């Protein structure tokens, strides 16, 4: 596999992680607007889902780092 093809794979994986995080964040923001202001539990649940998405993206970034290392060195 050529280096250019390896870089393409890494770039596509990065775009997949980024697109997933952006999609989830905007989806949660849209859903959170429908929550009444006095429903604190629902607001906290929406915040929790956003944080879970962000921390999941961090794990995805770590996996992407392993993918880069594997593609470059093997």
Is 53 in contact with 24 (CB distance < 8 Å)? yes
Is 66 in contact with 9 (CB distance < 8 Å)? no
pTM of the model: 0.71
Q: Is 35 left (phi over 0), alpha (psi -120 to 50) or beta?
A: beta
> What pLDDT, on the 0 to 100 scale, is given for residue 23?
92
pLDDT tens-place string over residues 30-66: 888 899 989 999 989 988 988 898 898 899 889 888 9
> What pLDDT, on the 0 to 100 scale, is given for residue 10?
86
CA distance 17 to 26: 14
């Amino acid at each position: 596999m050529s280096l250019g093809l390896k870089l393409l794979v890494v770039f596509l994986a990065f775009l997949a992680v980024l697109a997933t995080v952006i999609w989830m964040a905007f989806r949660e923001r849209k859903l959170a607007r429908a929550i009444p202001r006095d429903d604190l539990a629902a607001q906290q649940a929406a915040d929790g889902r956003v944080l879970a998405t962000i921390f999941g993206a961090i794990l995805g970034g770590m996996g992407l780092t392993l993918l880069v290392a594997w593609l470059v060195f093997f």
